[in-house]
């Protein structure tokens, strides 16, 4: 059964004991607040502000009938603190946990004992509040900050049985491993390339855009004739009424021009480093080394703390050996990580 402690000022404690001893327990009442953290203690019709707080450790209560055998009756993990001073109430608002226990050995027990056993420090309140605000915006359908949009062409591999409405990119690296064609989304789709290849050239059709009649308003024959004359006199296009000798001269001129031009061989398409198997193998190795380095740093900090607080010479010597071993392992992991990062940088800069 869960029980509670009640801490009240000395003058108020005497009054509470008097009511309890006389059987007037109805005159002592605890009224809960809306947040279940703030309470009101009513003693003889007078209200006192109180607050509930966590004890640093759980206490056990026992009963005895003969001062020989004791029976456990409950556990105590919280305490009601009643005060008639505003300064004390303001100080209680800032702490959720009482720093001191009930007995003298538990004085300031949190900083002396319990802080050393915490492996991870609590998150800062400002960061927690900021993350909570972002979550509320997301739940309410607000706009997420720092969103980068990119429009790409649609391909058949973007739809599968698990994503019938389209692929959702959560891990871009994993998507590249499964679909290397993701890196080529900026190129034209096959349907568009086929349409471009089937489009006839203007020279094959024998029709020039310059030789087409200029569309003008009805009755503007002068403008139409002027446009046709300017198109026929343009030096960039040959006249359709050329003789055989003129055609031969034009062909000879084209042969002379094309003969002096060097035809450069087409260079092979350059593959992206993100599809290189050697590059893809280095990425998980880097992530694993980063995790190992963090673990090694944690071990070094733990051993250094134990060396500083240990009073036993034998234990301190053993912990120092473990600290030196952990530092050596940390340096080796850091060197291997730096080498892997350099190899990845060489791929990205090539």
pLDDT tens digits, one per residue of 104-121: 888 888 778 776 776 666
Kind and range of the H or E run holding 276: none
Answer for the pair 17, 10: CB distance below 8 angstroms, yes or no. no
Cα(first)–Cα(last) distance of the chain, in Å? 70
Q: What is the mean pLDDT of residues 34-57?
A: 84
CA dist 124 and 121 (Å) reads 9
Gyration radius (Cα) of the chain, Å? 42
Name which of 267-276, 293-302, 334-343 the model is least confident about. Answer: 267-276
| Structural contact between residues 48 and 12, judged by C-beta atoms closer than 8 angstroms | yes
Tokens, residue 142: 């607000």
What integer pLDDT is reported at residue 331 of this predicted model?
92
Per-residue confidence (pLDDT) for residue 214, from 0 to 100? 45
Helix (H) or strand (E) holding 273: none
pLDDT band at 349 (very low <50, low <70, confident <90, very high): confident
Q: What percent of the chain has pLDDT over 70?
A: 69
What mean pLDDT do residues 176-185 have?
74
The enclosing H or E element of 73 equals strand 70-82
Q: Is the pLDDT of residue 177 over 80?
A: no
What's residue 219's pLDDT? 45
Q: What is the DSSP letter of 270?
A: P
**Across all residues in the chain, what is the average pLDDT?**
75
Go through the domains of the chain in sequence order and give each one's CATH number.
5-111 (no CATH), 125-183 (no CATH), 273-349 (1.20.58)
75 bridge partner residues: 2, 60
**Average pLDDT rounded to a whole number, residues 24-50:** 82
High-pLDDT (> 90) share of the chain, %:
5
**pLDDT per position as a tens digit, 260-289:** 555 555 555 566 777 788 888 888 888 888
Q: What pLDDT shows up at residue 134?
A: 82
Residue 330 CB contacts under 8 Å (≥ 6 apart), including other chains: 293, 296, 297, 299, 300
Most confident of 253-257, 271-275, 330-334: 330-334
Q: Which pLDDT does position 250 carry in this prediction? A: 65
Give the tens place of pLDDT for each residue, 46-76: 888 888 888 888 889 999 998 889 999 999 8
Q: What is 77-141 written as a DSSP string?
A: EEEEEE-S-HHHHHHHHT-SB-SS-SSGGGTTHIIIIIHHH-SSPPPPHHHHHHHHHHHHHHHTT
**Helix-strand-coil split of the chain, %, nearest 5:** 50, 15, 35
pLDDT band at 259 (very low <50, low <70, confident <90, very high): low
Read off the pLDDT of each residue in 119-148 and give the average, rounded to a whole number.
Answer: 75
Structure tokens at 75: 């556990």
Closest CA to 25 of 43, 8, 13: 43
pLDDT of 247 reads 66
The torsion region of residue 105 among left (phi > 0), alpha (psi -120 to 50) and beta comes to alpha
Tokens, residue 344: 């990845």
Q: Mean pLDDT throughout 334-347?
A: 90
Q: What are residue 52's DSSP bridge partners?
A: 80
For 172, the token pair is 């871009």
Location of structure tokens 């947040």: 35
Six-digit token string for 186: 């900026």
Q: Are 303 and 325 in contact (CB under 8 A)?
A: no
Which pLDDT band holds residue 143 (cuts at 50, 70, 90)? Answer: low
What's the average model confidence in pLDDT over 194-211? Answer: 47
Per-residue pLDDT at 300 exceeds 80: yes
pLDDT value for 334: 92
Enter the DSSP assignment of 239: -
> Is the pLDDT score of 314 beyond 60?
yes
């Amino acid at each position: 059964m869960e029980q509670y402690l009640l801490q009240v000022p000395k003058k108020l404690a005497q009054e509470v004991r008097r009511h309890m001893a006389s059987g007037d327990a109805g005159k002592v009442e605890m009224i809960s607040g809306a947040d279940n953290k703030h309470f009101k203690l009513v003693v003889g019709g007078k209200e006192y502000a109180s607050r509930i707080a966590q004890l640093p450790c759980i206490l056990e209560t026992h009963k005895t009938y003969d001062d020989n055998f004791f029976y456990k009756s409950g556990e105590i993990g919280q305490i009601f603190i009643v005060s008639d001073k505003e300064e004390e109430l303001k100080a209680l608002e800032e702490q959720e946990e009482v720093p001191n226990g009930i007995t003298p050995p538990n004085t300031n027990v949190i900083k002396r004992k319990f802080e050393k056993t915490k492996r991870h420090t609590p998150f800062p309140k400002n960061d927690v509040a900021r993350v909570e605000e972002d979550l509320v915006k997301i739940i309410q359908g607000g706009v997420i900050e720092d969103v980068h949009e990119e429009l790409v062409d649609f391909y058949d591999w973007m739809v599968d049985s698990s994503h019938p409405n389209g692929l959702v990119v959560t891990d871009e690296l994993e998507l590249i491993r499964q679909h290397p064609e993701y890196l080529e989304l900026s190129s034209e789709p096959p349907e568009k390339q086929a349409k471009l290849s089937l489009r006839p050239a203007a020279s094959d059709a024998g029709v020039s855009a310059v030789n087409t009649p200029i569309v003008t308003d009805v009755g503007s024959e002068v403008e139409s004739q002027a446009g046709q004359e300017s198109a026929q006199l343009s030096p960039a296009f040959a006249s359709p009424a050329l003789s055989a000798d003129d055609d031969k001269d034009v062909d000879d001129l084209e042969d002379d021009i094309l003969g002096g031009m060097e035809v450069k061989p087409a260079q092979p398409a350059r593959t992206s480093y993100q599809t290189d198997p050697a590059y893809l193998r280095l990425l998980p190795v880097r992530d694993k080394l980063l995790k190992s380095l963090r673990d090694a740093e944690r071990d070094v900090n733990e051993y250094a703390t134990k060396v500083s607080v240990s009073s036993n010479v034998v234990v301190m010597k053993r912990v120092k050996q473990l600290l030196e071993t952990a530092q050596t392992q940390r340096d080796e992991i850091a060197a291997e990580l730096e080498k892997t990062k350099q190899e990845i940088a060489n791929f990205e800069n090539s």
